[in-house]
Amino acid sequence: MATAPVGDDVYGEDPTVNKLQALAAEMVGKEAGLFVPSGTMGNLAAIMAHARQGEQAIVGYDTHAISWEAGGMSALGGVVPRTLPTDEQGRMSIAGIEGAISGDDVHLPPSRLILLENSYGEKSGYPIAPDYFAAVREVADRYNLRVHMDGARLFNAAVAQNIAATAITQHVDSVTFCLSKGLCAPVGSVLCGSASFIRRAHRVRKLLGGGMRQAGALAAAGLVALEEMVERLADDHANAQKLASGLAEIPGIRVDPEATRTNIVFFELEDDVPFTVEEFSSRLRQEANIWVGGYSSRRLRAVTHYWVNADHVNLFLQTARAILS
Ligand SMILES: *Cc1c(COP(=O)(O)O)cnc(C)c1O
């Protein structure tokens, strides 16, 4: 990062940013890429480049852009979300999508966009298979809609299925993925799509204040993320599976190891456990420097990554067992 060649990226003159954008686009099979400070900004820039104020986006009710992005699509984009239920993998039904598409009726916000996510965060990071996206694409094409994928953990979804990321992204017009998260860069995401789409998104990024100057120092870490961190995501998945199966054997914890297919483990404290989620997670932190997120009154989330190895998983299991015994 310290020795990366840099330039002014607002003028498109940062060679390291340009290299990152080109590599990212190639890895997802799109014409162009745009380096953005966060996944949230990548999704918002995509939504605003695809849809105008008053137009409708069809989305899963528990997708990240609905739950965790401060309502940006409506607050800043004026885009009207039409939320649909999702199944245990995070899929809206194809019939549901088709039924939600507004026809030529002046009462309704015109449908413009379908928003997808893979892997699906709220469903333990489920890696959805490409045939679902092919089916969504078919509906989108029939109604002339655009398709954006929040692929914050796209490479987890690809590695877990032992397929190329392009097997998934070939079915969408645009995709964002995070260089942080499992790929281990300190900051940044990339939005990819056609050259003309990325030109529109570039203007939105500027509008949102996301034009960065000598950003090559950050992009350099992004290049390491893409070149060296993708294949090893399989280790995170194996560690998450080890954690989920181990937790399943501890009295007081409820978990479905089958649901963990990538690097996210949701688990619950049984009702008779005399701890709140906050008490349990703060004891894990104090006793073994294990950091887990409290998700709801009985639910916690653990995520494995580059800095978590199999010994750490064992420590987690021992500590959790001791706290609950
Ligand atoms: C992390 C994440 C994002 C981006 O969130 P930021 O906080 O902006 O980095 C988007 N979608 C999903 C599914 C994510 O997990």
Q: Is the CB of 40 under 6 A from ligand 1?
A: yes
Are 201 and 172 part of one and the same domain?
yes
CA of residue 62 to ligand 1 center, whole Å: 13
Are 208 and 251 part of one and the same domain?
no
Q: Is residue 200 situated within a structural domain? A: yes
Nearest residue (by CA) to ligand 1, atom 12, is 152
Q: What is the pLDDT of residues 76-101, one digit of tens each?
A: 999 999 999 999 999 999 999 999 99
Q: How confident is the model at residue 296 (pLDDT cuts 50, 70, 90)?
A: confident
In this predicted structure, what is the pLDDT of residue 99? Answer: 97
Q: Distance between CA 121 and CA 7 in Å, rounded?
A: 35
Mean pLDDT of 303-317: 97
CA of residue 158 to ligand 1 center, whole Å: 17
In this predicted structure, what is the pLDDT of residue 295? Answer: 80
Half-sphere exposure of 294 (CA within 13 A, CB side): 15
**Domain end point (choices 228, 258, 276):** 228
Mean pLDDT of 295-316: 95
Q: Is residue 128 situated within a structural domain? A: yes
Query: Which CATH number belongs to the domain containing residue 201 in this structure?
Result: 3.40.640.10
Query: Which CATH number belongs to the domain containing residue 252 in this structure?
Result: 3.90.1150.10
Are 20 and 52 part of one and the same domain?
yes
Are 173 and 192 part of one and the same domain?
yes
In this predicted structure, what is the pLDDT of residue 29? Answer: 98
Question: What domain range includes position 316?
Answer: 233-324
Nearest residue (by CA) to ligand 1, atom 2, is 152
CA of residue 187 to ligand 1 center, whole Å: 11
Q: Is residue 4 situated within a structural domain? A: no
In this predicted structure, what is the pLDDT of residue 46? Answer: 98
Mean pLDDT of 148-171: 98
Are 254 and 302 part of one and the same domain?
yes
Nearest residue (by CA) to ligand 1, atom 5, is 39
Q: Is residue 1 situated within a structural domain? A: no
Mean pLDDT of 29-38: 98
Q: Is residue 57 situated within a structural domain? A: yes
Are 111 and 252 part of one and the same domain?
no
Are 243 and 193 part of one and the same domain?
no
Q: Which ligand 1 atom sits nearest the alpha carbon of residue 189?
A: 9
In this predicted structure, what is the pLDDT of residue 151? Answer: 98
Q: Is residue 3 situated within a structural domain? A: no
Q: Is residue 2 situated within a structural domain? A: no
Can you read off the two tokens belonging to residue 119?
A: 């892997």
Q: How many domains does the chain fold into?
A: 2
Shortest CA distance to 300 belongs to which of 318, 312, 285? 285
Q: What is the pLDDT of residues 178-206, one digit of tens each?
A: 999 999 999 999 999 999 999 999 999 99
Q: Is the CB of 64 under 6 A from ligand 1?
A: yes
Are 85 and 214 part of one and the same domain?
yes
Nearest residue (by CA) to ligand 1, atom 4, is 39
CA of residue 177 to ligand 1 center, whole Å: 8
Q: Distance between CA 118 and CA 113 in Å, rounded?
A: 16
Instruction: Check pLDDT > 90 for residue 103.
Output: no
Given a contact cutoff of 8 angstroms between Cβ atoms, the answer to whether 176 and 152 are in contact is yes
Q: Is the CB of 46 under 6 A from ligand 1?
A: no
CA of residue 152 to ligand 1 center, whole Å: 6
Are 155 and 68 part of one and the same domain?
yes
Are 171 and 242 part of one and the same domain?
no
| CA 66 centroid distance within chain | 12
Q: Distance between CA 167 and CA 178 in Å, rounded?
A: 18
CA of residue 39 to ligand 1 center, whole Å: 5
Instruction: Give residues with Cβ within 8 angstroms of 34, minimum separation 6.
Output: 21, 42, 45, 190, 191, 192, 198, 201, 202, 205
Mean pLDDT of 263-284: 96
Q: Report if pTM > 0.75.
A: yes
Q: What is the pLDDT of residues 211-251, one digit of tens each?
A: 999 999 999 999 999 999 999 999 999 999 999 999 999 99
Are 57 and 84 part of one and the same domain?
yes
CA of residue 151 to ligand 1 center, whole Å: 9
Q: Is residue 305 situated within a structural domain? A: yes
Q: Which ligand 1 atom sits nearest the alpha carbon of residue 180?
A: 9
**Domain end point (choices 177, 212, 228):** 228
CA of residue 59 to ligand 1 center, whole Å: 16
Instruction: Check pLDDT > 90 for residue 32.
Output: yes
In this predicted structure, what is the pLDDT of residue 281? Answer: 96
Q: Quote the Cα angle for 175-177-180, to 5°.
A: 170
**Domain end point (choices 228, 243, 274):** 228
Q: What is the mean pLDDT of the chain?
A: 97
In this predicted structure, what is the pLDDT of residue 292? Answer: 96
Instruction: Check pLDDT > 90 for residue 324.
Output: yes
Composition of the chain by helix, strand, coil, percent to 5 = 45, 15, 40
Are 65 and 37 part of one and the same domain?
yes
CA of residue 273 to ligand 1 center, whole Å: 32
Length of the chain as a residue count:
325
Q: Is the CB of 176 under 6 A from ligand 1?
A: no
Q: How confident is the model at residue 294 (pLDDT cuts 50, 70, 90)?
A: confident
Mutate to test the pocket of ligand 1, among 62, 63, 68 (most ligand atoms within 8 A of CB): 68
